[in-house]
A = this chain, B = another copy of it.
Amino acid sequence: MVETPEIRNGPVGQPLAEIASGGHDLAKAFAHAREAGSAELRKLTFAQRGELLASLAKALHGAREELISLAVANGGNTRSDAKFDVDGGSATLSYYADLASKLGSTTLLGDGEPVQVGRTARMSGQHVWTTRRGVAVHINAFNFPGWGLCEKLACAIVAGMPVIAKPATATALVAHRMMQLFAPLVPAGTVQMLVGPAGDLLDQLRAGDVVAFTGGSDTARMLRTHKNIVEHGVRLNLEADSLNAAIMGPDVELASETGGLFVADVARDMIQKTGQKCTAIRRVLVPEARFDDACDAFKERLGAVVIGDPAREDVRMGPVATAQQKRDVSAGIARLASATTEVFGGTGEIAGAGYFIGPVLRTTKTPMECEAMNDHEVFGPVATIAPYDGDADFAARLVARGHGCLVSSAYSDDRDWVTRFVGAAAPWAGRLYLGSAKMAAQSPGPGTALPSLLHGGPGRAGGGEELGGVRGMQLYMQRTALEGDASVLKALLG
């Protein structure tokens, strides 16, 4: 065991664990996945892979309290934040266990109906999805060590691909413990984990492999241009920076159900996980007439947030995850502050030890022109709010001004307004959350990625697609057009 780097405790930064650097034989790990792991998984039907995932979900559930404590200690998570990560992970495993069970006793997915390609119906075509013969490399982000591991792993395993997962080092303890729980349950070579420096991980890649990455745009850029990925046409799924927007419609009163949902969603996204969510709301538009009232509502909410040691029960917001995160967020707030004025929280500085940053809400009168608001993701408890004239097209243009995002949200009970907004904003978002009075009581909020809905976004967000039920499996499968005699194709599909 070499002593660098360490895993440190979020709130106060004392060492919690040491990481071995180097000494891993990654070529051997890949060979193990390619030979044992791939064959083991391909022996199983979708339904059997689902049973495997169900056993992993059960193992997480059994160790839930331990995992939550680890997330509190290592990630600076409040207990609520930790549950969001850990329970999100096991819920995603369970969702894909159910989905796999429904796919049944086969290993091949049909895609669409047969098509006639000859003079008669005898000469036919049928598209199918089959499992890629390679290794799925999962490079996960520091903010969701549990959920991130499980959501990528669930899709790959159901699809039939062995996984080598690399959690972010700084918050790896939850993922590491999950892996210990999984190890006795999974067939040889199907799930492996590398904690610490990547070493020659990417040099092992070849045609048929898949890399799925969640994290910052610098690493995304490195992956896109990596020689081995480029040369071998390795399939790459990226989820990178995202400046998600939330728009209050012109019909909404703050005191209404829809208005209440809007305020609660925005405030939650600033505070939850200390704003360290790729889906968190960063940009907010409010109709001019209700702008001051909305700011007052946020000031009241944010002012009531107790910040401190996340292990304490009364604390609503813990520190950011690492010293580097604190430096990055502070620098981001400084850039934003130079282009905006304060609504709440100044520059978020909090005196004392630990990686604490207070919630910061800024404002600008020119949201479309504000580069600091639209082009730089500040990955902490930070958002910018601006007034607008209520025009749905302007709202959609603000979504587009982020150059591609994971999710954006609109709050309105005016269907015409919503229709105009969706038509113009959808090309720029992987998910559009439409808040309204009728769903307010059971809404999970825009910040929650759901296994049944796509997670990913165009442009700046990386252009990737994860989750979304069967859609999330397709990254790990190849779509092939089968062409031939109709009865042969029918027999092949079983």
Mask, A96-127, CB within 8 Å of B = 1, is 00000000000110001001011110110101
Q: Given A415-B491, A450-B117, A482-B434, are A460 and B125 neighbors across the interface (CB < 8 Å)? A: no
Cβ-defined contact, A439 with B484, below 8 A: yes
Contact yes or no, B484 A132, CB < 8 A: no
Q: In the complex, are the beta carbons of A127 and B453 less than 8 A apart?
A: yes
**CB closest residue in chain B, given A494:** B419
Is A354 interfacial (CB 8 A cutoff)?
Answer: no
Stretch of A73-81, A163-171, A303-311, A420-428 lying at the B interface: A420-428
Say if the beta carbon of A225 comes within 8 Å of chain B.
yes
Neighbouring B residues of A491 by C-beta, 8 Å:
415, 419
Cβ-defined partner of A231 (8 Å) among B108, B118, B221, B438: B221
A436 and B127 within 8 A (CB): no
Which B residue's beta carbon lies closest to that of A450?
Answer: B117
Chain A interface size band reads 35 or more
Asked if A433 is at the interface (CB within 8 A of a chain B CB), the reply is yes
Give residues of chain A (459-490) contacting chain B, Cβ–Cβ below 8 Å: 459-463, 465, 468-469, 471, 477-485, 487-489
Q: Is A481's CB under 8 angstroms from B454's CB? A: yes
Q: How far is the CB of A240 from chain B (nearest CB, A)?
A: 8
Please determine whether B418 and A488 come into contact, CB atoms closer than 8 angstroms: yes
- Are the CB atoms of B117 and A480 closer together than 8 Å? no
Query: Is residue A224 within 8 Å, beta carbon to beta carbon, of the partner chain?
Result: yes
**Extra A-B contacts (10), CB below 8 Å, given A431-B480, A435-B484, A436-B484:** A115-B453, A127-B468, A207-B403, A233-B458, A233-B463, A235-B458, A422-B482, A429-B478, A432-B483, A454-B480
Would A444 and B230 be within 8 Å (CB), given that A130-B426, A418-B488 are in contact?
A: no
Most buried by B among A240, A423, A428, A439: A439
Q: Which residues of B contact A471 (CB under 8 A)?
A: 127, 479
Residues of the B chain whose Cβ atoms lie less than 8 Å from the Cβ of A208: 400, 403-404, 427-428, 458-459
Can you list, as one digit per residue, whether each of A204-217 has a CB less than 8 Å from chain B (1) or not (0)? 00111000000000
Cross-chain contact A207 with B404 (CB below 8 angstroms)? yes
Residue pair A434, B483 in contact (C-beta under 8 Å): yes
Contacts of A479 in B (CB 8 A): 430, 454, 465, 471
